[in-house]
Amino acid sequence: MRQLDHHIAGSGGGAAAARTADIFDPNTGQVQAQVVLGTAADLDRAVAAAQAAQPAWAAINPQRRARVMFRFKELVEANMDALAHLLSSEHGKVIADARGDIQRGLEVIEFACGIPHVLKGDYTQGAGPRIDVYSMRQPIGIGAGITPFNFPAMIPMWMFGVAIACGNAFILKPSERDPSVPVRLAELMQEAGLPEGVLQVVHGDKEMVDAILDHPAIGAVSFVGSSDIAHHVYRRGVAAGKRVQAMGGAKNHGIVMPDADLDQVVADLSGAAFGSAGERCMALPVVVPVGDRTAEALRQKLLPAIEALRVGVSTDAEAHYGPVVNAAHRERVANWIQTGVDEGAELVVDGRGFALQGHEQGFFIGPSLFDHVTPDMQAYKEEIFGPVLQIVRAPDFETAVRLPSEHQYGNGVAIFTRNGHAAREFAARVNVGMVGINVPIPVPVAYHTFGGWKRSGFGDTNQHGVEGVKFWTRIKTVTQRWPDGSALPRGSEDGGPSRVQDAFVIPTME
């Protein structure tokens, strides 16, 4: 059986593999490979390689670092089909979603190709008498990323693309559930010209995560995952003196105003709520129709749209979504559906009995729809992370603003309306980090920034864009004064400075 090793110092980590984890094929339920689970000793080897490689990489001018990013982008595009199939085989998302996963990561790489521009500092001439002030951004040194299973290509590229372009070395700890694509991306970075030791991949579970958080040589950590673990990562990393950004869970709401185009809303919800089997922190699992008339009309249009959804194997080009990542996650989603029933919500469509003919052992679950969900229900309060859509009815606009604003998560929210005033008012008032106006999944483009509020994000700096550059660099400010013309170096007989100390006249500050 195939065993996936670390990628340390440009090659396999040579791990003793005392512990391993199974990598499943979600379409069949069968184990297809194993991944080694590393130790603190494995991390030490990766850090040593990073320490050896990073100073020289940081000394390379930004244009040359950008050229590596350009070449990496070309290589990923040339290998897109193979990467998408590899990703689907371990995650379960359909090929189209897998390609989207990779493409959204590449958009951040494209941003990183412009690193010479965004690393430019500020300059003030004449801040005082013959005094100039300028700033420069310098790399942290060694950064680390801990990434989730649901976007095994996009989120690693969100992190290492900007971090490496800024001159850092980077150690990636991907999810042990689908780790092959992150290793392949590291190999392609090396093929693109990245020196050995600048990007490395270590595998593991909590033991490796805690080793990363505790290691004194790692200066910054970026994390994406569940909120409880994000909070742990943030607290432990900060206690160890690190810069930490930790993105957590979500319960994104879609507000449907009475004037919304319901056909477009239903089309958007079909993808936003059920696409990628709902395993997205920017999925739209809660729809909030304003007024009972809107709610009844929306429900009637949703039913045939859900009925038309095709669940299939990840290689089925006609499938809207594939299996969830593993059996434990399928059981977790099913348990949340039962919780909603027990709490009194109306289960309109039940996806728990779904089985795909010929793939009965696969990790499939059909789409589910709840109506009359209320804010006091645990199934509403918590993130289900599966193909489950909940209707929470709001009597008026004020309630619709309050629901996402008061929820423990604050990742994304959307409003569907033709009314510009309502949209503007909603965007200004809602207590959520990312807002879509007639856009169901408001993930910003790569040159803006990604991040949620409340329990969806811990730390002060967001992912990618200029915020990402700020996170992976430290700013240094220089105040300088040079002597005027009367204090030029005195020449020696051969036209040069007569003595070393004569070459420089140090002015006194006035």
Same domain (yes/no): 303, 316: yes
Q: Residue 488: inside a domain, yes or no?
A: no
Q: Residue 75: inside a domain, yes or no?
A: yes
Tokens of 210: 């805690």
Which are the contacts of 1, defined by CB distance < 8 A and separation ≥ 6?
31, 32, 33, 34
CATH number at 357 reads 3.40.309.10
Same domain (yes/no): 225, 298: no
> How far is Cα 46 from Cα 422, in angstroms, rounded to an integer?
52
Tokens of 244: 């930490």
Residue 315 in 3-state DSSP?
coil
Which are the contacts of 465, defined by CB distance < 8 A and separation ≥ 6?
111, 444, 446, 447, 448, 449, 450
- The residue range of the domain holding 18 is 2-248+458-474
CATH number at 124 reads 3.40.605.10
H-helix segments, 432-484: 465-471
- Count the alpha carbons within 13 Å of 397 in the hemisphere toward its beta carbon: 15
Q: Please give the pLDDT value at position 498.
A: 47
> How far is Cα 192 from Cα 73, in angstroms, rounded to an integer?
9
Q: Please give the pLDDT value at position 460.
A: 87
Residue 304 in 3-state DSSP?
helix
> How far is Cα 64 from Cα 62, in angstroms, rounded to an integer?
5
Q: Residue 453: inside a domain, yes or no?
A: no
Q: Please give the pLDDT value at position 224.
A: 97
Question: 3-state DSSP helix/strand/coil percent for the chain, to nearest 5?
Answer: 40, 20, 40
Q: Please give the pLDDT value at position 483.
A: 82
Q: Residue 491: inside a domain, yes or no?
A: no
What does the angle CA 370 – CA 433 – CA 255 come to, to the nearest 5 degrees?
35
Q: Residue 487: inside a domain, yes or no?
A: no
Tokens of 105: 């990561």
Q: Please give the pLDDT value at position 505.
A: 46
Q: Residue 340: inside a domain, yes or no?
A: yes
Residue 194 in 3-state DSSP?
coil
Same domain (yes/no): 69, 149: yes
Tell me the catalytic residues. Answer: 281
Q: For the CA atoms of 225, 227, 228, 231, what is the dihedral angle to 10 degrees?
A: 100
Long-range residue pairs from 427-433, CB within 8 A, at least 24 positions apart, any chain? 429/401, 429/405, 430/401, 430/404, 430/405, 431/404, 431/405, 431/406, 432/404, 432/405, 433/457
Residue 37 in 3-state DSSP?
coil
Same domain (yes/no): 259, 244: no
Same domain (yes/no): 23, 150: yes
- Using alpha carbons, select from 12, 44, 36 the residue that is nearest to residue 142: 44
CA dist list (Å): 68 to 167, 188, 237, 306, 362: 12, 10, 30, 45, 40
List the beta bridge partners of residue 123.
134
Same domain (yes/no): 191, 317: no
CA dist list (Å): 337 to 10, 30, 324, 351: 45, 25, 15, 9
Same domain (yes/no): 213, 332: no
Q: Please give the pLDDT value at position 11.
A: 81
Same domain (yes/no): 393, 462: no
Tokens of 5: 């090793």
Which are the contacts of 91, defined by CB distance < 8 A and separation ≥ 6?
26, 98, 149, 150, 152, 177, 178, 314, 325
Q: Residue 499: inside a domain, yes or no?
A: no
Same domain (yes/no): 13, 47: yes
Same domain (yes/no): 378, 361: yes
Q: Residue 382: inside a domain, yes or no?
A: yes
Same domain (yes/no): 145, 170: yes
- Using alpha carbons, select from 198, 252, 250, 254 the residue that is nearest to residue 224: 250
Same domain (yes/no): 205, 328: no
Burial class (CB in 10 A: 0-12, 13-18, 19+), 209: buried
- pLDDT tens for the chain, 510 residues: list them: 899 999 999 887 665 568 999 999 999 999 999 999 999 999 999 999 999 999 999 999 999 999 999 999 999 999 999 999 999 999 999 999 999 999 999 999 999 999 999 999 999 999 999 999 999 999 999 999 999 999 999 999 999 999 999 999 999 999 999 999 999 999 999 999 999 999 999 999 999 999 999 999 999 999 999 999 999 999 999 999 999 999 999 999 999 999 999 999 999 999 999 999 999 999 999 999 999 999 999 999 999 999 999 999 999 999 999 999 999 999 999 999 999 999 999 999 999 999 999 999 999 999 999 999 999 999 999 999 999 999 999 999 999 999 999 999 999 999 999 999 999 999 999 999 999 999 999 999 999 999 999 999 999 899 999 999 999 999 999 999 988 765 555 554 555 554 444 444 444 434
Q: Please give the pLDDT value at position 1.
A: 85
Tell me how long the chain is.
Answer: 510
List the beta bridge partners of residue 256.
289, 416
> How far is Cα 46 from Cα 48, in angstroms, rounded to an integer?
5
Number of structural domains (the chain) is 2
